[in-house]
Amino acid sequence: MPIGTIQWRDARLYILDQTLLPLERRVIPLDTADDVFEAIQSLRVRGAPAIGVTAAYGVVVGLRAAQPKDTADALVVVDNTAIYLGASRPTAVNLFWALARMQRVAHRLDATTPLPILMETLEAEAKTIHAEDLELCRAIGEHGAGLIPEGAGVLTHCNAGGLATSGYGTALAMMFWAHEQGRKFQVYADETRPLLQGARLTAWELQAVGIPVTVICDNMAAHLMRQGRVQLVVVGADRITANGDVANKIGTYGLAVLAQAHDIPFYVAAPYSTFDPALCSGDDIIIEERAATEITEGFGIRTVPEGVSVYNPAFDVTPAELVSGIITERGLLRAPYGPAIAALLAATATETQA
């Protein structure tokens, strides 16, 4: 069941603060664009689809807090809020996709539209993006479940579960689905340095529904593969370019290389909102670099000597040729990914316009 990652209640935005998990389950309100920006940047809400949904609501929250005097003023606020929230994190394309969608909907109305209508229209669009994401994840789970063999060891990285989306997740959705069907399998969750999304969040989600999960340190994956314990690797994505290159949490590329060396299938699960047809290849993706303190004193304990330099890219790019398939809400995409991705996005566009 969805775990309330993002909630819109009585016209107010709430998120489950993921920085506190697994120790504390605290829901916090986000009442201003600054609140939303801070929550995304600090990973209180995280995961590509969840960032997109939160930002969509963030436009509504920002607009209300700005108290525009009329619709013309409000349309300027919408654009400025979108630019502002778009600066919170650079890699997950869902953020920019959701913000652009909110701007498009706003600008379909003009300055003569009564202000309450604009507000209602934007709130309705954010709710639609939220509900759609839940459905996309459910469909991804349904399409992907069959890829998990009975008795398999499934390795995943970071958290691509309900916490990273409106609910169900992408990579984890297929596990939830297979589990509901009674299939037995074992998940290995990479702890995912430096912020431990695998250990803190993926393990929490899987344990809650009774899927056997074992946390390993990131540097143990090769050993497990060599031992024959892993039959499948499945991860989420933050941005997939037109040729099928995949940006995801740092460490994903290494897993893909290891999977190929051990002849293990490597799948990526993502909704259409994670594809970026405007970028030809992964070389064009901006990789977020985060604070050195996440490595030098993660979770409050200094583990690196003062003064030592640190490099902290939050994502890496897995080339399309290492990807066995991409699980989407419309089914499994196989190489060559260029035409498969173009067809997916064309079918989505046709349906949306219909």
- Distance in angstroms (rounded) separating the CA atoms of residues 37 and 83: 11
Catalytically annotated residues = 238
Distances in Å between the Cα of 203 and the Cα atoms of 10, 21, 134, 159, 162 are 32, 11, 21, 9, 12
Tokens at 127, concatenated: 């709710």
The nearest distance, CB 139 to ligand MRU, in angstroms, is 14
Which C-beta is closer to ligand MRU: that of 105 or that of 271? 271
**Judged by CB, which is closer to ligand MRU: 66, or 216?**
216
- Which stretch of DSSP H or E encloses residue 81? helix 71-86
- Residue 182 CB, shortest distance to ligand MRU, in Å, is 25
Give the residue closest to ligand MRU by C-beta. 236
Nearer to ligand MRU, 82 or 314 (CB): 314
Tell me the closest approach of the beta carbon of residue 164 to ligand MRU, in angstroms: 3
Residues in contact with ligand MRU by CB under 6 A are 43, 46-49, 92, 158, 160, 164-165, 169-170, 197, 235-238, 248-249, 314
Please, which residue, 50 or 105, has the CB nearer to ligand MRU?
50
Report the DSSP beta bridge partners of residue 326. 268, 333
- Is there a contact between 94 and 274 (Cβ–Cβ < 8 Å)? yes
225-263: string of b/e by CB count within 10 Å (b at 16+)?
beeeebbbbbbbbbbbbbbbbbbbbbbbbbbbebbeeee
